[in-house]
């Protein structure tokens, strides 16, 4: 029983990190109907920049995190500007191919010796891992940090989208670019802003991930990226609460599979979910089944 | 002259939707653009508000050239476009839709005052302020679209088929509101298939056929014009009974 509950806690930690990444996929999809396949790689860049800031350049941890988030926001905005905007009203497949190109570019460019280098790096712990025994359960300080940070970000995002002017503009751009333009919304700026937020969240996710699983490398974004994408699809792509729900489910399924079935199956089960959702409920758990607006 | 359109030519890909049209709107007027489905009325409005870029021709608003300015800048200059089919934001509340109409304005107190004015003009919007706009009826959605259009305090209001799909009673109501908005100082360019009603409220009219202006004049002159009577008003009278 305790073992089970500890696995659930581990799954929650993983799911919350997936949620942070999944939000970026789902927000971008909601606003320009594009799967940003480079998103997992922005997560990777975030982890590396956090590592460099803290472990190599000797910045205080909060400064290193902020630096990584701001730099990744700029990276996300640049990716959209260079690789997606010129193709915005072209057939969807063009932007999708472009996204895959950006993803591969980020992975192999990061692998170059004078960038991050091709090797695994061990991330030094900025603080010791502490275990607490609560009612017979072991809870780590890392789990608590992940929980607090991700929940704070979710609250912040909710506030941004439902209580601010730019958030309201984002909701209108998600419905109809031209109708938003007629209100005076600069649609390009709103899209850039969406990429900035999503990418900053991915960077934060990367740093939390490196904190929990302290090893980083240039291809580390692929798996969490694909799983967060699966989470977004599972919850209903374009729907923000869906991304969180999907991510929490993915975290549990993956952790419990590893604990009770086989740790070799953890990835396979994640993608089996993706296939099943696409086959039987392509709109996702929270998606409405009405036909999509073209 | 508040709006001057000169020799406008607009394409959708290879299709030439506007074949070089010219017209103007004076301050304080209601000018209507009438014509059959597909004549190019909506295209004209979309080009004025900056959603479409013309291949040739110029548009001047209060003496300034606005051709090729992006739509979000044109709103700021004082042109508000209430598009065909309302295009309200169904996922936003009624109040949020109205606030979106004031997106270009930053003075909160003034925006609140406009909100008050619009809700007084359209009492049903006040009743439904907290409801999602997608739950409104067609007539309410049209009122929301018009109210939203007024929230930017436009000098020139572009209305695209405000009577579309509404019951005769609601059509009457909408046209009364158009007249009252105009009396309070807003210049209006009105696009309608319902030529009968449009010619009742407008001061002047232009008749559009397949991307060309074929006739223009005072509204009462066009109402009396035999060609208009048979081509546009006859049809409309039959439709009224449906
Ligand atoms: N998005 C579009 N793509 C291609 N052709 C269009 C598009 N919108 C309108 N058209 C064509 O342009 C012409 C004018 O259309 P429109 O301005 O909508 O007419 P109206 O508003 O008078 O009914 C029509 O022939 C129509 O088929
Ligand atoms: Mg039309």
pLDDT band at B230 (very low <50, low <70, confident <90, very high): confident
Structure tokens at B158: 């572009």
pLDDT of residue A165: 96
Residue B139, both tokens: 């007539």
Q: Whose CA is nearest to atom 6 of ligand 1?
A: B12
Q: Is residue A63 part of a domain?
A: yes
Question: What is residue B231's predicted lDDT score, i.e. its pLDDT?
Answer: 84
- C-beta separation of B216 from B205 below 8 A: yes
Using alpha carbons, select from B61, B57, B63 the residue that is nearest to residue B40: B57
In a domain, B242, yes or no: no
Using 50 as the pLDDT threshold, list the residues of chain A that sit under it: 291-294
Q: How distant is the alpha carbon of residue A33 from its chain centre? A: 17
Write out the H or E segment, with its range, that includes residue A277.
helix A266-280
CB-closest option in B72, B96, B100 to A186: B72
Please state the pTM of the whole predicted model.
Answer: 0.93
In a domain, A290, yes or no: no
The minimum CA-CA distance between B103 and chain A, rounded to whole Å, is: 6
B1 and B40 together in one domain = yes
Residue B147 in domain: yes
The residue written with tokens 């780590």 in the block is A140
Residue A291 lies in a domain: no
B212, B186: one domain: yes
Distance CA(A252)–CA(A148), nearest Å, equals 18
Give the position of tokens 């004025």.
B48
Q: Do B103 and A165 touch (CB under 8 A)?
A: yes
B95 and B116 Cβ atoms separated by less than 8 Å: no
**3-class DSSP assignment, residue B10:** strand
Percent of chain B with pLDDT over 70: 96
B41 in ligand 1 pocket by Cβ < 6 Å? yes
Residue B201 placed within a domain: yes
Instruction: Give first-to-last CA distance, chain A, whole Å.
Output: 49
pLDDT range class, residue B11, cuts 50, 70, 90: very high
CATH number for the domain harbouring residue A98: 1.10.3470
In-domain check, residue B27: yes
DSSP-based three-state secondary structure for A123: coil
Percent of chain B with pLDDT over 90: 91
Residues B47 and B162 in one domain: yes
Residue in B closest to A187 by C-alpha: B72
Let me know whether B1 and B112 are in one domain: no
Strand partners, A140: A131
Q: Indicate whether B238 pLDDT > 60.
A: no
Q: Which of B17, B42, B82, B190 to mutate to test ligand 1, by most ligand atoms within 8 A of the CB atom?
A: B17
Of A169, A180, A184, the CB nearest to B76: A184
Mean pLDDT across the stretch B222-242? Answer: 70
Q: Quick one: B81 exposed, middle or buried, by C-beta within 10 A (0-12, 13-18, 19+)?
A: buried
The number of distinct structural domains making up chain A is: 1
Å from CA of B138 to ligand 2 middle: 17
Residue B236's pLDDT band, with cuts at 50, 70 and 90, is very low
The pLDDT, as a whole number, for residue A289 is: 57
**Phi/psi class of residue A34: alpha, beta or left (left: φ > 0; alpha: ψ in -120 to 50)?**
beta
Which of A183, A185, A186, A189 to probe the B interface (max B CBs under 10 A)? A183
Q: What is the CATH number of the domain that holds B176?
A: 3.40.50.300
User: Tokens 């990226």 belong to which residue?
Assistant: A225
Cβ-based contacts of A181 with chain B (< 8 Å): 50-51, 70-72
Chain A residues touching B85 at Cβ < 8 A = none
Residue-level pLDDT at B141: 97
pLDDT, tens digit, 9 for 90 and up, residues B157-177: 999 999 999 999 999 999 999
Please tell me if the CB atom of residue B17 comes closer than 6 angstroms to any atom of ligand 1.
yes
From CA A89, how far away is CA A34, in angstroms rounded? 11
CA distance B59 to B77: 13
d(CA A236, CA A233): 5
H/E segment holding residue B25? strand B15-25
A181 vs B72: CB contact, 8 Å cut-off?
yes
* Statement to judge: residues B20 and B62 lie in one domain: yes
Closest chain B residue to A164 measured between Cα atoms?
B96
Say if the ipTM goes beyond 0.90: yes
> What ligand is nearest to the CA atom of residue B34?
1
Domain assignment present for B48: yes
In this prediction, residues B212-221 reach a mean pLDDT of 96
Closest CA to A19 of A204, A290, A273, A214: A204
Residue A288 in domain: no
Whether A184 has its CB under 8 Å from any CB of chain B: the answer is yes
Among B15, B52, B162, which is best to mutate for testing ligand 1, by the most ligand atoms less than 8 A from CB? B15
Q: What is the pLDDT of residue A292?
A: 42
Residue A81 lies in a domain: yes
- All residues of chain A having their beta carbon less than 8 Å from the beta carbon of residue B83 are 178-179, 182
Domain around B102: 86-153
Among candidate residues B153, B168, B191, the one where a domain is terminated: B153
Instruction: Please indicate, yes or no, whether residues B71 and B90 belong to a single structural domain of this protein.
Output: no
Nearest-by-Cβ selection for A176 from B87, B96, B101: B87
- The pLDDT assigned to B226 comes to 87
Same domain, B149 and B163: no
The CA B85 to ligand 1 mean position distance, Å, reads 14
Are B96 and B211 found together in one domain? no
The answer to whether position B240 is within a domain reads no
Domain edge (last residue) among B137, B153, B169: B153
pLDDT at B133 > cutoff 50: yes
In B, which residues are within 8 Å of A239 by CB distance?
none
B182-210 confidence digits (pLDDT tens) = 999 999 999 998 999 999 999 999 999 99
Dist CA B61 CA B50 (whole Å) = 12
Region B214-225: mean pLDDT is: 94
Q: Are residues B95 and B205 in the same domain?
A: no
pLDDT at A45: 98
Question: What is the per-residue pLDDT across B80-132, written as a single tens digit (0 to 9) for each?
Answer: 999 999 999 999 999 999 999 999 999 999 999 999 999 999 999 999 999 99
What region does A258 belong to: left with phi over 0, alpha with psi -120 to 50, or beta? alpha
Residue B242 clears pLDDT 90, i.e. is over it = no
Determine the Cα–Cα distance for residues A11 and A75; give it in Å rounded to an integer: 30
Judgement on whether residues B71 and B107 belong to the same structural domain of the protein: no
Structural contact between residues B72 and A185, judged by C-beta atoms closer than 8 angstroms? yes
Provide the domain count of chain B: 2
Mean pLDDT along residues B44-69: 98
* Residue B54 falls inside a structural domain: yes
């Amino acid at each position: 029983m305790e073992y089970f509950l500890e696995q659930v806690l581990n799954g929650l930690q993983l799911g919350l990190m997936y949620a942070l990444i999944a939000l970026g996929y789902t927000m971008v999809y909601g606003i320009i109907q594009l799967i940003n396949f480079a998103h997992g790689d922005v997560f990777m860049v975030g982890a590396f920049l956090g590592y460099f800031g803290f472990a190599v350049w000797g910045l205080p941890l909060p400064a290193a995190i902020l630096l990584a988030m701001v730099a990744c926001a700029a990276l996300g905005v640049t990716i959209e500007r260079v690789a997606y905007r010129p193709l915005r009203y072209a057939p969807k497949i063009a932007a999708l191919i472009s996204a895959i190109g950006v993803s591969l570019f980020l992975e192999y460019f990061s692998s170059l010796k004078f960038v991050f280098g091709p090797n695994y790096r061990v991330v030094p712990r900025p603080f010791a891992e502490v275990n607490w025994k609560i009612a017979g359960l072991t809870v780590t300080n890392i789990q608590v940090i992940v929980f607090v940070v991700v929940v704070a970000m979710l609250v912040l995002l909710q506030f941004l989208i439902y209580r601010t002017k730019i958030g309201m503009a984002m909701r209108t751009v998600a419905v109809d670019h031209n109708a938003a333009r007629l209100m005076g919304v600069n649609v390009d700026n709103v899209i850039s802003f969406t990429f900035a937020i999503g990418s900053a969240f991915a960077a934060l996710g990367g740093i939390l991930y490196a904190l929990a699983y302290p090893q980083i490398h240039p291809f580390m974004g692929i798996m969490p990226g694909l799983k967060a994408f699966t989470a977004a699809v599972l919850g209903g792509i374009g729907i923000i609460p869906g991304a969180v729900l999907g991510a929490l489910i993915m975290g549990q399924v993956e952790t419990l599979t590893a604990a009770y079935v086989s740790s070799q199956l953890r990835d396979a089960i994640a993608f089996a979910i993706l296939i099943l959702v696409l086959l039987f409920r392509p709109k996702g758990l929270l998606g409405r089944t009405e036909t999509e607006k073209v | 002259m508040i709006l001057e359109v000169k020799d406008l030519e607009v394409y959708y890909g290879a299709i030439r939707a506007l074949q070089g049209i010219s017209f103007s709107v004076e301050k304080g007027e209601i000018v209507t653009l009438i014509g059959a489905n597909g004549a190019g009325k909506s295209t004209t409005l979309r080009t004025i508000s900056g959603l479409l870029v013309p291949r040739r021709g110029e548009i001047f608003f209060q003496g300034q050239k606005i051709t090729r300015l992006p739509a979000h800048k044109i709103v700021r200059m004082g042109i508000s476009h209430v598009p065909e089919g309302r295009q309200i934001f169904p996922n936003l509340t009624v109040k949020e839709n109205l606030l979106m109409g004031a997106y270009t304005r930053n003075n909160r107190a003034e925006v609140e005052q406009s909100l008050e004015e619009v809700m007084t003009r359209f009492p049903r919007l006040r009743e439904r302020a907290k409801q999602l706009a997608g739950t409104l009826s067609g007539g309410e959605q049209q009122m929301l679209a018009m109210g939203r259009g007024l929230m930017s305090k436009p000098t020139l209001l572009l209305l695209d088929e405000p009577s579309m799909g509404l019951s005769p009673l609601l059509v009457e109501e909408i046209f009364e509101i158009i007249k009252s908005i105009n009396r309070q100082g807003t210049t209006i360019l009105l696009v309608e298939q319902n030529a009968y009603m449009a010619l009742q409220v407008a001061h002047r009219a232009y008749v559009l056929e397949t991307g060309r202006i074929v006739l223009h004049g005072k509204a009462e002159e066009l109402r009396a014009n035999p060609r208009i009577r048979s081509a546009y008003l006859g049809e409309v009278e039959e439709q009224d009974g449906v």
